[in-house]
Amino acid sequence: MTENIDSYIEEVESFNSGNQDEIEQFRIKFLSKKGIISTLFTQLKDVPADQKKEFGQRLNLLKNKATDKVKILKEQSVSSAQEPVVDDLTSPPEPLPLGTRHPVSIVRNEIIDIFSKIGFTISEGPEIEDDWHVFSGLNFPDEHPARDMQDTFFIEKNPDILLRTHTSSVQIRVMENEKPPIRKIFPGRVFRNEVISARAHCIFHQVEGLYIDKNVSFADLKQTLLFFAKEMFGENTQIRLRPAFFPFTEPSAEMDVSCTICKGKGCNVCKYTGFLEILGCGMVDPNVLESSDISSVEYTGFAFGMGIERVAMLKYHINDLRLFFENDTRFLNQFKGDIT
């Protein structure tokens, strides 16, 4: 009698189908009330006593196999029904999401492009510097407050090794190695020991400019910066130079541009002055030229330095500096079109 069951087991094992109707037919044939298995169970009582045990075991095996088979085939047919049918292999794929250039890179590249139109080339210097290149070579007196621990991240004391607080250090490096005429810009990252807020960060980026030649005047500085402001913020942009102090330039000035938001009419961003400060500049101090072995009788020059984040904030109307460092893709994705 068990041979009969064994042939049903074989039939169950070899059955395979993805078709829901066929699976249902199979279930009815084996597992329904009047199906093969329950019929066999009713025959159990007629089986001779010595064969009952084996018959029962084989029958249970058949029942388990049939139940499992129905379960597995049903699951497979459901999950394959959910898979999308790729019927046109020539149709174009979904485009891969592209990244964006960071706004600081976009603005840095734009500043580089503007100055390269008027003959400035790029140099870079190290972020870890010594006292000479960041302070002493730039005519900072020994007791100058900018050397204070509050502003500068010192790595080592005596001799002082520190993170540069401005890109003016590259001025000294370039003057050590090149003779005038020098017409260069120095983009780079700088570090200051500041409390992080909407307006200040301990890391930010600057672009420094240096022009040294015979007969360079303050008028050259002013026209160069006016050209930059118009290229960066639009043809109608106005500039304003206010007297200021830097140890390495004399005379020194800070430059304002007409407010990018109210166009000079007055608003809360420019505090109703119509102007926004964007950079520091001045004529290179003769002491700085001489300490780099450039004759201050023969040559004069100008220098300027601006914060890239500051320019980006004015250009894109961003009111919190921290957004540049958080890399939140909701912020970054807004610069998708700007690929400069």
Residues at the interface with ligand PHE (CB under 6 A):
166, 168, 208, 246, 249, 280-282, 303-305
CB of 194 to ligand PHE, least distance (A): 12
Q: By C-alpha distance, which of 131, 142, 122, 138 is closest to 182?
A: 122
110 vs 277, beta carbon nearer ligand PHE: 277
110 vs 208, beta carbon nearer ligand PHE: 208
Dihedral in degrees, nearest 10, Cα atoms 190, 193, 195, 201 = 0
CB of 337 to ligand PHE, least distance (A): 31
CB of 138 to ligand PHE, least distance (A): 8
Comparing every residue's Cβ against ligand PHE, the nearest one is 305
CB of 198 to ligand PHE, least distance (A): 19
172 vs 281, beta carbon nearer ligand PHE: 281
User: Is the previous residue joined to 93 through a cis bond, with omega within 30 degrees of 0?
Assistant: no
81 vs 128, beta carbon nearer ligand PHE: 128
Structure tokens belonging to residue 202: 């301990």
Residue entry with tokens 């780099």: 292
- Residues 263 and 253: their CA atoms lie apart, in Å, by 22
CB of 165 to ligand PHE, least distance (A): 7
73 vs 190, beta carbon nearer ligand PHE: 190
Q: Are 164 and 287 in contact (CB under 8 A)?
A: no
CB of 303 to ligand PHE, least distance (A): 4
Beta-ladder partners of 203: 191
135 vs 233, beta carbon nearer ligand PHE: 135
Beta-ladder partners of 204: 190
Instruction: Quote helix, strand, coil % in the chain, to nearest 5.
Output: 45, 20, 35
CB of 133 to ligand PHE, least distance (A): 12
241 vs 323, beta carbon nearer ligand PHE: 241
DSSP string, 224-286: HHHHHHHHHH-TT--EEEEEEEETTEEEEEEEEEE-TTTTTS--TTTTTSSEEEEEEEEEEPH
Sheet containing strand 128-130, strands side by side: 128-130, 161-163, 154-156
Q: Are 312 and 104 in contact (CB under 8 A)?
A: yes
